[in-house]
Amino acid sequence: MKKPTPATIEDVARLAEVSIATVSRAIHMPEKVAVSTRQKVDRAIAVTGYTANAMARSLRLGRSNMILAIAPDIGDPNFAPILIGLENEARAGGYGLLIGHTQGDPLRGVEYLKFLNSNQAAGMILFTGYVPLDPASQTRLPPMVAVGEPLAQGGIPFVGTDDRGGARKMVELLIAQGHRRIAFIGDSRERLSHHRRRIGFDEGLAAAGLRDGQQVLDSDGTLEGGRAAVERLFLRDDLPTAFACVNDQTAAGVILSLTARGYRIPEDFSVTGFDDIPQAGFLSPALTTARQPRTAIGQAAMAILLGLVEGEAPEQAETLLMPDLILRDSVGARPVNRRF
Amino acid sequence: MKKPTPATIEDVARLAEVSIATVSRAIHMPEKVAVSTRQKVDRAIAVTGYTANAMARSLRLGRSNMILAIAPDIGDPNFAPILIGLENEARAGGYGLLIGHTQGDPLRGVEYLKFLNSNQAAGMILFTGYVPLDPASQTRLPPMVAVGEPLAQGGIPFVGTDDRGGARKMVELLIAQGHRRIAFIGDSRERLSHHRRRIGFDEGLAAAGLRDGQQVLDSDGTLEGGRAAVERLFLRDDLPTAFACVNDQTAAGVILSLTARGYRIPEDFSVTGFDDIPQAGFLSPALTTARQPRTAIGQAAMAILLGLVEGEAPEQAETLLMPDLILRDSVGARPVNRRF
DNA sequence: CTGTTAGCGCATTCAT
DNA sequence: ATGAATGCGCTAACAG
């Protein structure tokens, strides 16, 4: 019969013929222990296959070694790559990563907050775009870092894409291709990230002295919305030669609508997206877009959170990572002879 | 100044003027406590905002309330939907879900096994297709359930798609459309799931008395492999009218190759996939495929695992869920006048 | 029905 | 440099 129960610190101590205090020291403060003793302990640990019971350790320390990440929707294509970054960094720091999803229900956020307060996790990564707040509990908020969508509330560090800079780079690309009349299909809902893309668009155009060529259509960030925006545009006469879309879904709608009308992309119109969702490369034509540096975002966010957990002062309010422009087939030179 | 430290069971007991044992009972065995006492306790809990310290509880019970899910690749499109099912069911049972990824490295699997042995998790969900095994540790394996890819090793319950049944349904659909000569583009690598799809294909054809119309091409489950298989096929003269592919990636390759040769789908050839990856609907033509019931798989797997954790005997070796046929545009009736 | 108490495994004083 | 003893918060056995 093998060992039915995992080795405890006591097993190690007995085998090494020292006290449990010494074993603990040998592990956590090796320099405070005689070399010979340390060796005995190390050997005993190897023999027993000892791993400290994390529960006991957490109880004693009053702090867990888990980080909880909560998201409104785990299925979000942005989620997985960020998760990888989070998990890598957490593991490197000796932490485990827990995940929870709220399915958009703020109540579930509060539930997870309780979870934190019961010491099950040392800190929290927020994908939600808002801070779950338990009106009942008056305990101070645990360490948190927001990711993906900036937080309206202040005081919580945010790590995400440089939406403004990315949008600006996108416009500059279009301008470099000769486009002078560019439409921005935006998102009028309250999303900070989308608002910032709009600002980057404006800036890029203004810097090139092209404020006149600017057209802005409001939409809702969905494929349907993108389609509808194009339809509205065709009611007027003053067509752009390029569409800069607030995200890939919108761009997909624009492409579909344009194609349905018999236009060719990029010969007749150029269109760009933002995000680089998995489907972006499968559209026809394949979509030129700005890819969010998702894994890097996850990694940076976790690094900051672990710093917070371990008592460091927060560095800065926002850490913005520049997206990469992914050049595919939906952007071309401005059509020279517009046939319409 | 607010409460700096969370309320403990002792705070509640003091406020309710009972002993801590009574508080614990009021929570876990309400029927063993007088109604009036229970009310006092409930009120005290509400006032203090008490949540049991999970660490202390786990330490005492010798069992954690976390389940660890490990996957070779979190980015896998199959992963997120299964994760949702897992998380839902875990939460319903009072468990949290931890995730880890091995990046295909067996060593990291062993690392997670140690994690389990340090009591950080009560059980484990395996996406890996194999059991991480620590040669050093002789402790018996913790409760595990495999998901997605069947396990070669026996003794571990598996929950997944009914690959055989799904493939068979797919072939039957093709046959119903009039196809008599059907090629199966398989995957010769060692994947049990893919092997089972092949068997379902054979069965469907045999049941219709169509063993003659059967062609089987080996491939590797990738887009490139699908493309290559078609090219090989065109070296011969005896073309099928439909391609049943082992998965969506392969189907994408087949579609690309066929389209590049100037054929139209589904007019000239029908093609089917398997899995329903997110891109499937974005192919042109949109791919008809079998969708794995992923969330249901996750839910079922977690239910079984929690049963195991709580000491129930495992029910059955395999739980197979039938995939749904997603009818899109890549399947049509058998071409009546083959022009080639 | 309720209270007293032991002990889960560990890190950490306080002695030595 | 090392050991003995304490308590983190909780549940369950045992008494009453």
Q: How far apart are CA B87 and CA B306, in angstroms?
A: 12
CATH number corresponding to A64-161+294-322: 3.40.50.2300
Closest protein residue to D9 (Cα–C1'): B56
DSSP string, A210-268: -GGGEEEE--BSSHHHHHHHHHHHHHSS---SEEEESSHHHHHHHHHHHHHTT--TTTT
How confident is the model at residue A2, as a pLDDT?
A: 41
Q: How far apart are CA B56 and CA A147, in angstroms?
A: 31
- How far from the centroid of its chain's Cα atoms is residue A49's Cα? 37
DSSP string, B235-268: TSS---SEEEESSHHHHHHHHHHHHHTT--TTTT
Q: What residues of A are in contact with residue B75 (Cβ under 8 Å)?
A: 80-81, 84
B338 pLDDT more than 70: no
Q: What residues of A are in contact with residue B99 (Cβ under 8 Å)?
A: 83, 87, 97-99
pLDDT in tens for each of the 340 residues of chain A? 344 678 999 999 999 999 999 999 999 999 999 999 999 999 999 999 899 999 999 999 988 889 999 988 887 778 889 999 999 999 889 898 988 888 878 778 888 888 888 888 999 999 877 777 655 554 567 889 999 888 766 778 999 999 999 999 999 999 999 999 999 999 988 788 999 999 999 999 999 999 887 889 999 999 999 999 999 988 877 789 999 999 999 999 999 999 999 999 999 999 999 999 888 988 889 999 999 999 999 999 999 999 998 887 777 789 999 999 999 999 999 987 665 5
Q: Are strands B324-326 and B289-291 parallel, antiparallel or unpaired?
A: antiparallel
* Residue B102 pLDDT grade (very low, low, confident, very high; cuts 50, 70, 90): confident
* Contact at CB, B118 and A59, closer than 8 angstroms: no
Burial A8-33 (b: 16+ CB within 10 A, else e): bbebbbebbebeeebbbbbbeeeeeb
Mutate to test the interface with A, among B110, B118, B329 (most CBs of A within 10 A): B118
Domain residue ranges in chain A:
9-52, 64-161+294-322, 163-291
Q: Are strands A324-326 and A289-291 parallel, antiparallel or unpaired?
A: antiparallel
How confident is the model at residue A337, as a pLDDT?
A: 66
Nearest to B177 by CA among B309, B270, B39, B278: B270
pLDDT digits (tens, 9 = 90+) for B295-316: 999 999 999 999 998 887 777 7
Cis peptide bond upstream of B81, omega within 30: no
How confident is the model at residue B139, as a pLDDT?
A: 55
* Residue B3 pLDDT grade (very low, low, confident, very high; cuts 50, 70, 90): very low
Query: Distance (Å) from the C-alpha of residue B66 to the closest C-alpha of chain A?
Result: 9
Domains A64-161+294-322 and A163-291 agree in fold: yes
Q: How far apart are CA A15 and CA A42, in angstroms?
A: 11
Q: Is A279 on the interface with B (CB under 8 A)?
A: yes
More confident residue, A271 or B117: A271
Write out the CATH class of domain A163-291.
alpha beta
Q: CA B64, C1' C13: Å apart?
A: 29
Reported as type and span, the H/E element at residue B69 is: strand B66-71
Q: How far apart are CA B116 and CA A15, in angstroms?
A: 23
- Say what the pTM is: 0.85
Mean per-residue pLDDT over chain B, rounded: 89
Residues 82-101 of chain B whose Cβ lies under 8 A from any Cβ of chain A: 83-84, 87, 91, 96-101
Nearest to A139 by CA among B51, B189, B182, B108: B51
